[in-house]
Structures are given as C-alpha cells and as structure tokens.
Amino acid sequence: MTKLLPKIKIHPVFWLVIAAGTLTGHLWGTVMAFVIVLIHELGHALTARLFGWNVLEIELLPFGGVAKIDERETHPFYQECLVLIAGPLQNVWLPLLSYALLNFSFWGMNEHNLFLMQNNALLLFNLLPIWPLDGGRLTHVLMEMVYPYKLAYRRALCFSAVALGVFGVISLLLYPFAINSWIIFSFILVAIYKEWRVIPLRFIRFLLALSSSKQRFVRLKKLSVPGEMLLTEVFAMYYKNADHHLRIIGEPKSELDGIGLVRDYFKGNCEAATIRECL
C-alpha cells in the first residue's frame, strides 16, 4: 500500500483556504473540499502508478492538486491522457457516494447539496484549458502531438495565460469580491510564469531522455533543414515520442538519424556546430 500511495503534501494556499473556511464558520465545507480534492488527486496518482510512472508526491491545492511526476518527457501520449482524465473521472462518481450517505443521520440534504456544489465546481474548473489545471495539461499534451516539444510548451503556456486573463475578467465582472478566486487566480499566474522559466531546463531533459531512449518510436518525423542551421536550432524542431530523420536542403545524400545526432551532441562530438559539419 505504501508503494502504491505517494507522499501527500498540502500547499500553503490550501492552508490559507482552510483557515479562511474555519474562521468564517465553513468548516464542514472545507473538510468536504479537502476530501474531494484528495480523491480527485489519488485518481491521477494511482493511474500513474499503474503505468509504472515515478510519482514523487501529491501536492493538494484548493482547486485540485499536482501529482509531481518524474521523467514526464518519456511517457506515451495515451498514458498521459488517461492519467489526466483519471482525476476528473473521480468527480463523476463522487455524487453517487453523497447520495448513498443520505442514508446516514449525519448527512442531510444541506450537506448533500454543498457536496454536489463543491464537487461540480471542482470538476468544471479543472477542465478549463489553463495550465496547471487538468484541462490545461491536456491541452499541452494535445499540442505536443501537433507541435515540436519546445514550441508546444510555449504555446500551451501562452494559451493558458490568455485563457486565465479571460477567466479573470469574467470573475471580476461576476464576483469582484470573491477573495478565494483571486488567491487561486494569483497562484495560477505565478505557476504559469514559473513553468515558463523552466522550459529551457525541461527541454534539456527532453533531449537527454531522447538520447538515452532505447526504443524506436512509431512516430517518424522527416525534417528538411538548411546546412548552416545550428544543432540547437535543429533540436528545437524535435517532437516528443518521435524518431527524426534529417535531410539537409540541397544535399540529396545527407540523411541523418535525429536521435543519433543528439547522442553525439551530448558526447561533445558536435558541440556548437552546424548540422553540415556533423555529416
């Protein structure tokens, strides 16, 4: 069991929401939110463990949580999608649990309605296409299928920032004094900014994962590049979960194995060289 369940950590923002709930006499509601978020997050983590992923820990946030996962660069797309969907799926069966609890004296219609409201709010909010919410992460995976790794990352975060802006304006117009919304809004904005800063690091990890990969991918990308292009620029065109065949424009016999080129780069054989120099 301890192997299956990862470490669970509560983010300071969630402590803040718990404290606010307690002070304003909404303790029941806060406990419910905690349970709903925990079950949602366990859905992600247990599915990830079933696929053999390395789940470092779960961090609980007021609107979901983050399952911190190692080696994200190597997971197949279908597994990523299933792990992401496994969280919101828990919010689909949780209302049935609340109906069942109505048979007990401690669970009346008030508790039931509050539970349904919180559960549905979490479900809908989490599906917004804003990183790091599940909808935003799913958007990122879909972009990784279509665009090269680095570009997909940037586009997913830019898209998230715009969607967050729209969400912020709507919240401001509808509920200008909802402090919890503003805490969450600020948290997400900071999270997007922090993630943007680590893109170069993640990109290096992606290349390292690609260079140490022993499997051949089903996906094959054929890239035509000018001979004077720097290797780092060529690598920025690489896709996740794909093999790459490179061809230098104007040189018909210039086929290069993309992953082999990354290995050479890390061995120092082609550092800071143009792709033509690696022929």
Residue 80 touching Zn ion (CB under 5 A): no
| Segment interacting with Zn ion (CB under 5 A) among 82-90, 209-217, 227-235, 256-264 | 82-90
DSSP per residue over the chain, as a string? -TTTSPEEEE-HHHHHHHHHHHHTT-HHHHHHHHHHHHHHHHHHHHHHHHTT--EEEEEEETTEEEEEES-GGG--HHHHHHHHHHHHHHHHHHHHHHHHHTTSTT--HHHHHHHHHHHHHHHHHHTSS-TTSHHHHHHHHHHHHHS-HHHHHHHHHHHHHHHHHHHHHHHHHH-TT-HHHHHHHHHHHHHHHHHHHTHHHHHHHHHHHHHH--SPPS-EEEEEE-TT-BHHHHHTTPPTT-EEEEEETT-TT-EEEHHHHHHHHHHTSSTT-BGGGG-
Considering the complex, state which of residue 87 and residue 148 has its C-beta at the smaller distance from Zn ion: 87
Measured between alpha carbons, how far is 157 from 160 in angstroms, rounded to an integer? 5
Contact pick of 64, 129, 132, 148 for Zn ion (by CB under 5 A): 64
Task: Give the nearest distance from C-beta 122 to Zn ion in angstroms.
Answer: 9
Catalytic residue ranges: 41
Using CB under 5 A, count the residues that bind Zn ion: 3
Task: Give the nearest distance from C-beta 130 to Zn ion in angstroms.
Answer: 12
Identity at 185, one-letter amino acid code: F
| Binders in 219-258 for Zn ion, by CB under 5 A | none
| Segment interacting with Zn ion (CB under 5 A) among 55-63, 87-95, 165-173, 215-223 | 87-95
Task: Give the nearest distance from C-beta 90 to Zn ion in angstroms.
Answer: 9
Residue 87 touching Zn ion (CB under 5 A): yes
Question: Going by DSSP bridges, is the β-strand pair 255-257/55-61 parallel, antiparallel, or unpaired?
Answer: unpaired
Task: Give the nearest distance from C-beta 74 to Zn ion in angstroms.
Answer: 21
Measured between alpha carbons, how far is 192 from 160 in angstroms, rounded to an integer? 8
| Segment interacting with Zn ion (CB under 5 A) among 10-18, 58-66, 178-186, 213-221 | 58-66
Considering the complex, state which of residue 45 and residue 261 has its C-beta at the smaller distance from Zn ion: 45
Q: Which residue is nearest to Zn ion (CB)?
A: 87
Identity at 222, one-letter amino acid code: K
Considering the complex, state which of residue 21 and residue 132 has its C-beta at the smaller distance from Zn ion: 132
Per-residue binding string, Zn ion, 112-151, x by CB under 5 A, is ----------------------x-----------------
Task: Give the nearest distance from C-beta 34 to Zn ion in angstroms.
Answer: 15
| Segment interacting with Zn ion (CB under 5 A) among 85-93, 154-162, 251-259, 262-270 | 85-93
- Residues of the shown chain interacting with Zn ion in the complex, contacts defined by CB under 5 A: 64, 87, 134
